[in-house]
Amino acid sequence: MKNRTFLYFLLGGLISASLMLGGCKPAKPVQARQIPLEDFFKNPEKARYQISPDGKYFSYMAPYEKRMNIFVQEIGTDKATRLTSEKDRDISGYFWKNPTRIVYLKDTGGDENFKLYGVSIDGSNLQCFTDFPKVRTEIIDDLYDFPDELIIGMNKRKAEIFDPYRLNIVTGKMTQLAENPGNIQGWILDHEGKLRAATAIVDGVNNQLLYREKESDPFKPVLTTSFKENLSPLLFTFDNKNIFATSNLGRDKNAVVIFDIANGKEIKTLYENKDFDVTDVTWSHAEKKLVCADFESWKAERYYFDEKGKQFFEKIQKKLGNFIFSITSMTRAEDKFMIRAYSDRSMGGYYVYDRATDNLQKIADISPWLKEEELAEMIPVEYAARDSMKIQGYLTLPAGYTMETAKNLPVVINPHGGPWARDSWWFNPEVQFLANRGYAVLQMNFRGSTGYGRKFWERSFKQWGKSMQDDVTDGTNWLISKGIADPKRVAVYGGSYGGYATLQALVREPDLYAAGVDYVGVSNLFTFMKTVPPYWKPMLDMFYEMVGNPKGDSLQFVATSPALNAGKIKTPLFVAQGKNDPRVNINESNQIVEALKKRNIAVQYMVKDNEGHGFHNEENRFDFYRAMEKFLGEHLK
């Protein structure tokens, strides 16, 4: 329901994965035990726990034939039932639809054309609801109050657009609710399950909110703004008259507001943070009220609307200490909750919280083979870019080091994907793996990273390879100036947009980096624009404003496309790519590899035929990180 979701996560989503250092500082850092590579990247024993709506069962995902499948276990027993038997690829995601049936999504070989399945909790009646070739299924609304129905979107009629359907998961019957005229990007239902609002793009670069009082009425536009302005509906108010939304209309940071949807105007600001965007709200189905708003400073935080809700969250937090937590699911009565807790040094675990008894019971560790005391802390850092803009990020030092004792370390600079996303304080297996191998890792939220407001976001427009890249370079030089980085042993590694930033770093700063690792990254802005998935095409005009237009900005594209400037690269490079990647076509990696091979520049190339945008199969992850470890070891140590 958020028009800019594709913009925020355009090139992200690769991995299904900072307290200030204190206490006594060791005079001499102690070398940590080298943890087996597989321990960082293998599938968890059990993960993605959810509790059933009636509180009688919990479900989870666990490996079967090396692929993550769905299991169900009655609470209080030790016996689990495996519901699925996927052997080719992990199930992408699932949830309980009612007390006896679970639905899940799965694609083929990373093509992201997800199909929707349903299965009963005894493993029977497995059914694919959307078995259509080259069609992508999306969940529009889980219809919480309608246990046998879902609202889904499919680009079945036309590859570029998604129509909404009401699906009965018992009979499999689908009813199309509306026909997308070609510009609608999101559909919003009220609490009675009626389709009453939509978000659209008009004239290529304007957002529009559409509304109708009854489903029999035609949709009418009630608000039109530039795509740079954000009014993102979250849910209808509980009387179904207005909507709760996040909005930056007339302000820099997204705030939670009540919006009069019939008349197209904000009527009340519920919460606004002066420094960070509010991203979402948590609300109670049972009590029909907002509980808190979510925002992220250097770590996830909450603002509470409700004192009862505040006490509820604080009780859990007190039991978990410094771990951050989220609620993954709850019973319909909201008396039992599935809790996921984690930190920067732990994948964490799952707990069931009983509200009546105030009991928090741990039911699983996600990766018990990793010991928190052996891993490294993420330190929040800030530095000034060359134009004085403040850039925040995270520095992870090998275990045993502090900012004071870390000197002349080998470093991996790690710009994030997106690019309109952000790095966060959480357990990142890549970062922990690199730190365990003795590397310091710097992650920066360069300009354009989300959560810092509209101005910070807009400062990234048409700056791919330019000031966005300067932020990466300036972070590298800042770390060298602090004496932490050995200037002769600095590598740059990133995935997706981070892969592009890696390539551009080697073009623009050929003497700064000793090695580069490009993971499913863009290399040629001209060809990248031509090969985006069809359902991104309605947003291309917006993309042209944000990245550049291949025609009007052709000179900039020539200057900022690494494949067209490969003659400047002299740094050894490792490239990894999924053959079926729908976001960054394999030709992007082919181009840069071929260009470097022609010049006899050291380049290593890994292609996985059964992967897409990032490697999800366990054995492919092992191959990639094993090769990366060897590559970095050769060039940085």
Q: For residue range 50-108, list pLDDT tens digits in order.
A: 999 999 999 999 999 999 999 999 999 999 999 999 999 999 999 999 999 999 999 99
**Which one has a higher pLDDT value, 18 or 336?**
336
Tell me the DSSP string of 76-141: T-S-EEE-----SS---EEEEEETTEEEEEE-STT----EEEEEETTS---EES---TT--EEEEE
Give the torsion through C-alpha atoms of 292, 364, 92, 52, to 10 deg: -70
Domain ranges in the chain are 371-636
Lowest model confidence (mean pLDDT) among 16-20, 221-225, 342-346: 16-20
Query: Which CATH number applies to 371-636?
Result: 3.40.50.1820
Q: What is the pLDDT of residues 167-202, one digit of tens each?
A: 999 999 999 999 999 999 999 999 999 999 999 999
The predicted model gives 297-310 an average pLDDT of 96
What band does 320 get if pLDDT is binned at 50, 70 and 90?
Answer: very high
Please say if the pLDDT value at position 210 is more than 70: yes
Catalytic residues: 496, 581, 613
Is 330 within 8 Å of 337 (Cβ atoms)? yes
Tell me the DSSP string of 415-435: --SSSSS---SS--HHHHHHH
Query: Where does residue 313 rank: exposed (0-12), middle (13-18), buried (19+ CB within 10 A)?
Result: middle
Mapping DSSP to helix (H, G, I), strand (E, B) and coil, where does residue 490 land?
A: strand
**What's the distance, CA 324 to chain centroid?**
17
Q: Which residues contact 220 (CB under 8 A, 6 or more apart)?
A: 210, 211, 212
Is 336 within 8 Å of 327 (Cβ atoms)? no
Pair of tokens at residue 524: 């040629």
Please say if the pLDDT value at position 9 is more than 90: no
What band does 30 get if pLDDT is binned at 50, 70 and 90?
Answer: low
Dihedral sign of CA atoms 132, 138, 141, 147 in order: positive
> What is the number of residues in the chain?
637
The predicted model gives 450-470 an average pLDDT of 98
How many Cα atoms sit within 13 Å of 177 on the Cβ side?
26
The predicted model gives 101-129 an average pLDDT of 96
Instruction: Provide the percentage of residues in the chain whose pLDDT is more than 90.
Output: 93
Neighbouring-strand partners of residue 223: 209
